[in-house]
Amino acid sequence: MAGIKKIGVFTSGGDAPGMNACIRAVVRTALFEGVEVVGIRQGYQGMLESNFWDMTARDVGNIIHIGGTILKTARCLEFKTDEGTKKAYENLKEYGIDSLVAIGGDGTANGASRLSQNHGIPVLCIPGTIDNDLYGSDFTLGFDTATNTVIEAIDKIRDTAASHDRLFFIEVMGRDSGCIALRAGIAGGAEAVLLPERDTAIDELIEKLSSHANNQKSSSIVIVAEGDKNGGAYHVAERVKEKFDFYDSKVTILGHLQRGGSPSSFDRVLASRLGFAAVRALLNGKDRQMVGLRGNSIVLTPLEEALHFSHFKLEDDLLEMINVLSI
């Protein structure tokens, strides 16, 4: 069991549906194995403030269905300094925490990697971000739920778009990743999707919309990923309207609506598998790894590799389908 006696678990960065299910799995797996668990509230900020919580199996009861994170989360600039990292480690050591499970995105993984490298504390990371932009896992916690939230919104917006012969531009989250936009665009039957990974000229978009209008499409929906190089949904809508006014145009920014809500069945199961696997990996002597899902298997990826190849590659067939299925 690698001599581990007390595991610290924390969430950091943006919250994602499924984080609570993952915390639950980490806590109960560790306790089942006879290892103490400490919840670290507010991520790296909590480490600096010794905001620790000795957790029991009952502390994680009835949370598997709840969005957000019971451990809270925060951004922490101080932790990024050598002095801050050292102080965090000293607080962990004083409390007897000898290993960590970190749940979050690439910023969380970078911080965990630095803490482990500089001070030798074993760390396992679990990808928890709706952006689905970490290498080493086909899916990250929260991505499926966030995508379903977007699809539900698209379905409702389409009812209005069709009723009024309107063109809707819907902006979705994902930072520099177009994963949510692409999958939601296909599942929601969007006429076009603008992605950070692919340059789409406004003239090209207008040509496509004109073709749809000529084919008697009474309405259209364009999904715009927030990291798209054209500058966001409002800017895209303004530029399209300058040259193409066939439809009455409207813009909807879904924003943080996508980050909340009860996790889907997929995210609950994924969270449970990853939390369970992370504890087992720590107890088997693994360190500085990210736990992920590839195919239907749980795999470990070295943190350096996961962070070096930080962005998820979009599937070629999905990219092609957007054009084919929107005619």
Task: Give tens-digit pLDDT for 62-71.
Answer: 999 999 999 9
What's the predicted TM-score (pTM) here? 0.95
Strands 289-294 and 297-302: antiparallel
Which of 80-94, 213-227, 242-256 has the weakest average pLDDT?
213-227
Cβ contacts of 24 within 8 Å, gap of 6 or more: 60, 63, 64, 271, 272, 275
Is the pLDDT reported for residue 272 higher than 90? yes
The pair of structure tokens assigned to 98 is 């000898």
Helices (H), 120-225: 143-164, 179-187, 202-214
131 noted as active-site residue? yes
Q: Cα–Cα distances in Å, from 16 out to 39, 144, 147? A: 17, 10, 12
Residue identified by tokens 């994170």 is 69
Q: How many CB atoms lie within 10 A of CB 20?
A: 26
pLDDT tens digits along 242-252 = 888 788 899 99
Smallest CA-to-CA distance from 22 within 261, 270, 264 is with 270
pLDDT for 306 beyond 80: yes
d(CA 153, CA 170): 9
Distance in angstroms (rounded) separating the CA atoms of residues 55 and 268 = 20
Rg for the chain, CA atoms, rounded: 22
Q: CA angle, corner 45, sides to 43 and 49, nearest 5?
A: 120
Q: Tell me phi and psi for residue 166, to 5 degrees.
A: -110, 155
Cβ within 8 Å of residue 43, ≥6 positions away: 10, 11, 12, 13, 71, 72, 73, 74, 76, 104, 108
CB burial readout 36-62, b (16+ within 10 A) else e: bbbbbbbbbbbbbbebbbebeeebbee
242 burial via Cβ count (<10 Å: 0-12, 13-18, 19+): exposed
Structural contact between residues 2 and 52, judged by C-beta atoms closer than 8 angstroms? no
pLDDT in tens, 119-163: 999 999 999 999 999 999 999 999 999 999 999 999 999 999 888
Report percent pLDDT > 90 for the chain.
84
Candidates 310, 257, 256, 263; CA nearest to 19 is 263
Please report the pLDDT score of residue 312 as a whole number. Answer: 65
Contact (Cβ atoms closer than 8 angstroms) between residue 155 and residue 123: no
Dmax over Cα atoms in the chain, in whole Å? Answer: 70
Find the catalytic residue in 98, 106, 131, 133: 131
For the chain, what percent of residues have pLDDT higher than 70?
98
